[in-house]
Amino acid sequence: MNYVFISPHFPENFKYFVTSLRNQGVNVLGIASEGYDDLDPELRDSLTEYFRVDDMEEYDQLLKACGYFTFKYGKIDYIESMNEYWLEKEAHLRSDFNVDGLRVEDLPQIKKKSEMKKVFERANIPVARGELVKDINSVKRFVEEVGYPICIKPDIGVGAADTHRIDNDEELEEFFSYKQPIEYIMEEFIVGDIHTFDGLVDKEGNVLFLNSFVYGGVMETIRDTLDNIYHNQVEIPEDLKKVGLRAVKEFDIRNRFFHLEFFKTKENELIALEVNIRPPGGWSLDMFNFASDISVFDMYSKMILGEEPSEMPEIKYHCAFVGVKFGLENELKHSLDESLNKYGYMVAKHGPMPDIFSAVMGNYSYVIRSRDFDELMEAAHYITARAK
């Protein structure tokens, strides 16, 4: 099997997809702009071959790389990156090299938030009222219907980047003074935590793995420069599982990870936010592993090789991500050493976070786990405690 992995070096934990595939006998062929000698040694040793391009944004360079791999190794079976940013280029390459998977025509309903809404609605899953932004008058008409506050964000975008809460006409005027020349969508503002529905589904549509995280406000974390704490749910609520599985089926997700997000309101209503046909970002894959004592990287490798699925893994531990930000006015009360001395027995992983993720994830991060949820939260709040 020939598996082309686009940008296998980033984020750093994606190297474990490569090592796992290689251990299963797959030819893993990497494409990126990183220098070969700068790759992680474990990643470098697990790649059958690496094709360095000058610019990943130049499609012709990616086309040339895949052409070379085809000439040398034969037909390509998979082209993947597991990364939202490269979805469109992957799809074009699959079309050009006749590789199974998402094609260009499949992208609108998984890239455009306005199109996602239509799919959720077909599955009878509630969505926030919203429509595309045409001009400032169209927004004002929308506000007359739903009232302030509203949320405005790119129709195609990742995470909470360029997402704005608009509370009044003055803020609306300000937004239009600096908005980018791209398509935006506006929605009524929903108050609630975000409950995710994450998993892995095979080519027959069988769900092999499930997980759920609870996030606070991602937009507020960026806007107000807050530390970040989120945790998994050991027992995935039945209402979330019901709508999540219905969405997976309606989006026809196959042979991939998925990451669905829903608002949960104070009335316990689930409202669909978005779908991502990829694993959740940051260290979430590591959290899957630590929560269940498994390797989702091995599960994925065996899945694409067509091995019979094993029993659905049990979530054994409460697991939390804790990200602290540097340079804030109120210093942390406890140092790294103090946190590790007090709660090191719960720390599964810790280290600096790449700058590109720091606005949401923090500058220095921890994954902690415990069988006791209260103990987990006690440690998370100790790590993020700040001087008043």
Task: Report the alpha-carbon distance of residue 352 to residue 360 in Å, rounded.
Answer: 13
Average pLDDT across the chain, whole number = 94
| Contacts with 60 (C-beta within 8 Å, 6 or more apart), sequence order | none
Instruction: Give the pLDDT of residue 223.
Output: 66
**Residue 182 above 70 pLDDT?**
yes
The neighbouring-strand residues paired with 187 are 130, 151
pLDDT category at 359 given cuts 50, 70, 90 is: confident
pLDDT > 90 fraction of the chain, expressed in percent and rounded: 89
More reliable by pLDDT, 311 or 321: 321
Mean of pLDDT values over 248-260: 97
3-state secondary structure of 209: strand
pLDDT tens readout for residues 20-58: 999 999 999 999 999 999 999 999 999 999 999 999 999
For residues 55 and 61, the answer to whether their CB atoms sit within 8 Å is yes
Spell out the domains of the chain, with CATH numbers in brackets: 2-106 (3.40.50.20), 129-188 (3.30.1490.20), 193-384 (3.30.470.20)
Distance CA 241, CA 235 (A): 10
Condensed to tens digits (0 to 9), the pLDDT of residues 77-110 reads 999 999 999 999 999 999 999 999 999 999 999 9
In angstroms, the CA 61 to CA 59 distance is: 5
